[in-house]
A and B are shown apart, each in its own frame.
Chain A
């Protein structure tokens, strides 16, 4: 390469300027390389594409005596720029800094099959997200970078844990069973995007990763979000939740280029729950070793040291630094809310180093990238480390044959903390700890009667360690330091493509993809961990392996039917195969109290168990697409996919069509300010395949029964079997979503203002649910095609290019969307739980009241016990008891809709000389959220929600009917439920329906309006690519500072981000229960191109 250039220089010199070389860079206004941008010498065939660092080289061999040429730089989604270059010296430099095209709409879209298409000719909707948009947000995980970037694409980080999964919902929930997560196609290969819980629970273990996290955002060239059924239908039964088509970067021919980028992020807790420091541990206004903080007023204590009885049992910490004797009188006024917070949380940080090198020539290109991410989560001891290696190559083997190979390898390693509904979780113990208890010394010896019991767990209910090893709830220090939950993932993603062009206009493409990973998990709970199963020590090993292979053969043919009509016909065949296996081994009841996590801690055979689960899936699909372009105004796509699947008995077909009509000429005739107008209409079907292995009713083992924390397990009774509760079903077919959408795309005032409007409506039939059976029928459930649901909504996307000139620009973009979801039928089932606990998130069948009025409910409806009301609705007029208190409903009722009414985003992109500024603001209106953590903590009395004191002006009753006389000063609130003032005191919060857990709570007081606004992203970048750098060998340096999730405003919620869902990424939302909190971040990045 280098030598050939030298030769060229020499040749040029010798011939005396009959040739010239032009080089430079093409970047966006922030200085980000625009890889693949085209630079051509106007009016000639000379040109080049920009490499991964944005650089290009054009060699002109025949100048025809010209001393200057005109260069044009073009790039998808950016304004074309033209520049005159003086080439009289034989060498010239021309750098282009392209402005984002009006609208920011990217002119080229990527179709479901991975081919590029002109967006202006599409009748279906899709949205693309540029790499610059993604990397600027500084999210370590690719899924999170898509947040707020397009209408009706809702991305929620469901937990702030490093490496945790992210929920992506396109146009609301489109399925009931499983996750409403879109299909992710990377370089033509559908990849695994599951969040596998394995041995841990969705609600109570650690937050598991989503496999989408394995991709490195810096490797991505383009992301296309196919929202509508018509756009996605070629993926058949994988596409019901939409498809995200991701293309990784290619190398580009020209000089070898290198890029190095370092990103450093500092993360802190986003929402901190306010804890009270007024009252100490205890009950009924007295200090005592109870679960709750309804004790004495700390300010009223003497302030002297606590009185202790040294003859009674005491605790000595492991390091001998701290001794706690049995307290006989609590005098200390010290509180530890902040200290206990510091024990759990820290400033998290991550450092990501990205190195990329690319180059090539006319026949081959290469791109190699290496990325290393080291992240320390905001909860101490949590980490997520990831290495990504990628090699993408392309070869032109002959004029008719080319091939490409894209291979990515990911290794990640992490430790995450137990969370959620889980007594060995971090938040549960932390938030329940009384203000006057110091969590610092959590492990040591319990001394009783001169005997030392070492390795005991000290928590606030076992403050001297205790005679039993069970602390009831973990001290957070124990969760963080003594337990381990590590995950190590090895993954290979490979996509190879061979293109053969036997004739002009004919392509045959062979694609082969492989996605394989192993996920090794270890969970270790030493002796003394809270929870009856873990108390005597438990060690859980799981190994998950997954392999998916995908083959496509695609033939494409261009047909010019006449000068006015052209067609592209595509036919293809796909086969996809998946093999999944999880093996786990478990031991408990350690014989040895050791920190070493090995299976030798108990070698008794009865202490160990093994378990294995496998899954096999295969599908074959053939498909055809016919695209017609008539008169350059009417564009029609017709497609059909016919699919066979191992989980269904008969093949299914998925048809789709879309039409676009470019009406610019017609419209501009009477509205001259319209520079582009398109009307579009699309219709299509997509589906969800049934789950595997559900045809037969089988014998199940490894089961147990428990009514309330009192399990019996057949494994401990000699094994044994039962008829599976879940009745088999050999009549399964795919669920089918049929969607119609129409809309218009307009660009006004010379493309300065653009707006797209879409209305869609879909119905989903034959939905696969685990239908609830009457237990008396002998089974609890049956997996069946037994539900239907509808979604409809409006989406508006647009932008306004306020100004744009050489030195500055300002662009606003916005999107706004609604989605209304209704469950139409559950075929006899009344309620389907999507989560656990009280309140929970459910699918609820329509109900008919006494007057015959039918009420339909949206998916995810919150559901639990509430208060009896006159109309039976959660917010109806309360039926009060004779003392003026609400009364519990015996049955569960709908407690509100967690889905927002609408959601909108406004973005600002501004540039001034070398500075650029971005802001992304989003608002979500309406919807209800169940901050269940806070509701439970009312019972515990640890939050400021219960920090109030009132002196009664008149006699008042409490919920138990006791009269509290006037003049009494009590902790609580005077409240009027509609029947006159009553007293909400400790009895209301701690012993009754006003706080706590279980089904026996008035949860209609527990849900809140989830409306929020937030500045999701603020960033400022400075880019240097002037001559000053030339001597250093650098072509460009960009420094960016970003703040992510910095400000948020909640209408009613406090202390919890409404994006949090303790159930992870599955369907169902709006629930918190001691979930690990989300983060806000400050990021700094430096990118240098060589």
Chain B
């Protein structure tokens, strides 16, 4: 092919513009700092303490939110009237419903609590608190679901293995021991980012013992539970609570979560009107638990949820009403039941001590703390003897006492996971005679719920999630209840 001369000449001319382009190109390195994030702050620039309140709020979601309400529905305490909650109430519960709590426990709480420990290893107060909250969050997941990841979490492992439920609870118990020794080495200070105890190390130590007691208790290890509980929360001043705060004109973000859900578009969706719990507190009902020594009107009124109007609530669902995470009531009732299991007399003494506390107003708020509406006189042994006021059906006095204690736990535990954990524990131990006989939620159901399904968020990414058939997703017992 012949190339003509004209072409060659033009190519020479072309060198000029090419040079222009080439020169521009040499100055085209991009400064990589443009890609530094202009909006968010580098982790190391933020004080470790500033991570604490967020982690505690995540734990709040784990303890007193959606899953807590769901377990209430599966324990005769709450009812789903319409929308999503009516399906869930009818046992149509899918793996998506546990995503938020799971993520809050493993990411919202644990990642940040561990970051605190890495960033401020010498601040023993923060280190101790962070371990208690971690044990609380992960422990709740383990109790609800059984085997969960723990040994391999929150690090570089992308798909952590699932450890057995007992192993996890043992690890958490050890973590709580560590926390207690850290806190013992710390000193109390005002710590505004600790939204639970404002930096009071003694309260944290007591709360750590109560959690240790809870973890032994769900495994029916009553001796260990008793030992721990004896160092646990000893008065309601030490209650570990989610305490709403802020401006009453703002409905959400820092308010009672029952109130919050009813104040939005979910008004009417769920409540407890007509639930077995409320029937037990209602003198008009055949299952009313009151007797000559017991008047439950105040607790009935305090527990009543007005699902038709959030602002109509003055009790547990009032805008500023605290919600329980770990309390004196739980701690003392662990002591009570554990004691009763070894000695009738000591069990009775503890029960009466508890009733004395109730007679002082117990957990009632100022609206409902009207002594005219409650009576909790001390029981005597005869009350539990065959034919006694707490033993109409002629069981042994030991059984009658335990049954009363379990019933008290069922009532006092409203708003916590305690009622759900108790009936699973007792069923697992073959002590069905002690279980509060709340009915199933509809005629089509034939068995009680034994677990909360593993979350879809974990299933979506982690192939180690134990496979449970759809039909068994709610009914397979967890290890401690087998």
Contacts and interface: CB of A to CB of B under 8 A. Distances in A.
Given A532-B252, A616-B38, A778-B154, A712 B57 contact: yes
B17 A993 contact: no
Contacts of B106: 775-776, 778
Contacts of B65: 706-708, 710
Contacts of A563: 4
Interface residues of A, number: 132
Interface in A555-604: 555, 557-565, 569, 571-573, 575, 588-591, 604
Interface string A275-286: 000000000000
Contact of A619 (B13, B25, B30): B30
B458 A998 contact: no
Contacts of B226: none
Given A573-B25, A713-B253, A472 B51 contact: no
Contacts of A117: none
Contacts of B295: none
Report whether over half of chain A's contact residues are helix, strand or loop; otherwise say mixed.
Answer: loop
Contacts of A703: 54
Contacts of A644: 28-30
A423 B264 CA distance: 9
B462 A960 contact: no
Interface in B89-118: 90, 92-97, 100-104, 106-108, 110-112, 114-115
Contact of A961 (B11, B247, B261, B444): B444
Interface string B236-265: 000000000111011111100110110111
B27 to A, nearest CB: 9
A1074 B300 CA distance: 41
A290 B254 CA distance: 29
A614 B153 contact: no
A694 to B, nearest CB: 8
Given A506-B14, A723-B112, A708 B470 contact: no
A559 B252 contact: no
A829 interface: yes
A992 interface: yes
A891 B54 contact: no
B17 A508 contact: yes
A562 B249 contact: no
A503 B252 contact: no
A1020 to B, nearest CB: 49
Contact of A707 (B38, B67, B249, B252): B67
B6 interface: yes
Contact of A776 (B46, B154, B263, B443): B154
B28 A565 contact: no
Interface string B9-38: 011011011101100110011111011111
A355 B160 CA distance: 67
Contact of A890 (B35, B41, B473): B473
Contacts of A1000: 84, 87-88, 92-94, 97
A61 interface: no
A868 interface: yes
A699 B96 CA distance: 27
A470 B263 contact: yes
A688 to B, nearest CB: 16
A649 to B, nearest CB: 8
Interface in A703-737: 703-725
B247 A604 contact: yes
A829 B101 contact: no
B57 to A, nearest CB: 5
B17 A720 contact: no
A505 interface: yes
B10 A505 contact: yes
Interface string B463-482: 00000001101000000000
B193 A716 contact: no
B462 A774 contact: yes
B57 A991 contact: no
A535 interface: yes
A709 B261 contact: yes
A831 interface: yes
B393 interface: no
Interface in A969-1000: 990-993, 996-1000
A770 B315 CA distance: 43
A692 interface: yes
A667 interface: no
B94 A778 contact: no
A1001 B93 CA distance: 10
Contacts of A558: 10
B443 A960 contact: yes
A550 to B, nearest CB: 14
Interface stretch (A9-17, A218-226, A605-613, A758-766): A605-613
A299 B160 CA distance: 62
A602 B104 CA distance: 33
A962 B443 CA distance: 8
A777 B265 contact: no
A573 B460 contact: no
Interface string B56-100: 011011000111000000000000001110111010111111001
B1 to A, nearest CB: 6
Interface stretch (B306-314, B346-354, B375-383, B430-438): B306-314
B38 A693 contact: yes
B96 A999 contact: yes
Given A777-B157, A960-B442, A622 B21 contact: yes
A734 to B, nearest CB: 14
B158 A773 contact: yes
A607 B42 CA distance: 28
B247 A532 contact: no
A470 B308 CA distance: 11
Contacts of A530: 265
A892 interface: yes
Given A707-B61, A710-B257, A571 B107 contact: no
Contact of B43 (A714, A723, A939): A723
Contact of B159 (A725, A777, A993): A777
B62 to A, nearest CB: 9
A645 interface: yes
Interface stretch (B181-189, B331-339, B416-424, B449-457): B449-457
Given A698-B40, A992-B87, A890 B94 contact: yes
A532 B67 contact: no
B84 A708 contact: yes
A1017 B245 CA distance: 59
A512 to B, nearest CB: 13
Contacts of B462: 774, 776
Contacts of A964: none
A774 B461 contact: yes
B52 interface: yes
B460 A776 contact: no
Given A589-B249, A620-B28, A614 B38 contact: yes
A331 B266 CA distance: 29
A618 B4 contact: no
Contacts of B34: 616-618, 646
B336 to A, nearest CB: 31
Q: Which of A559, A571, A716, A828 has the most B CB atoms < 10 Å from its CB?
A: A716
B268 A291 contact: yes
B472 to A, nearest CB: 9
Interface in B258-308: 258, 260-261, 263-268
Given A646-B35, A828-B159, A891-B470, 18 more contacts: A467-B312, A468-B309, A470-B264, A555-B17, A560-B7, A644-B28, A695-B37, A699-B43, A706-B61, A707-B100, A707-B104, A718-B192, A772-B460, A773-B461, A776-B106, A828-B158, A865-B94, A998-B83
23 contacts: A468-B309, A506-B17, A532-B265, A533-B252, A559-B7, A559-B14, A620-B30, A696-B36, A704-B57, A705-B57, A708-B97, A717-B53, A718-B193, A720-B53, A722-B51, A722-B54, A774-B158, A774-B462, A776-B458, A777-B158, A778-B153, A865-B96, A890-B95
Give the 3 A-B CB pairs with smallest separation, nearest first: A555-B17, A707-B66, A998-B84
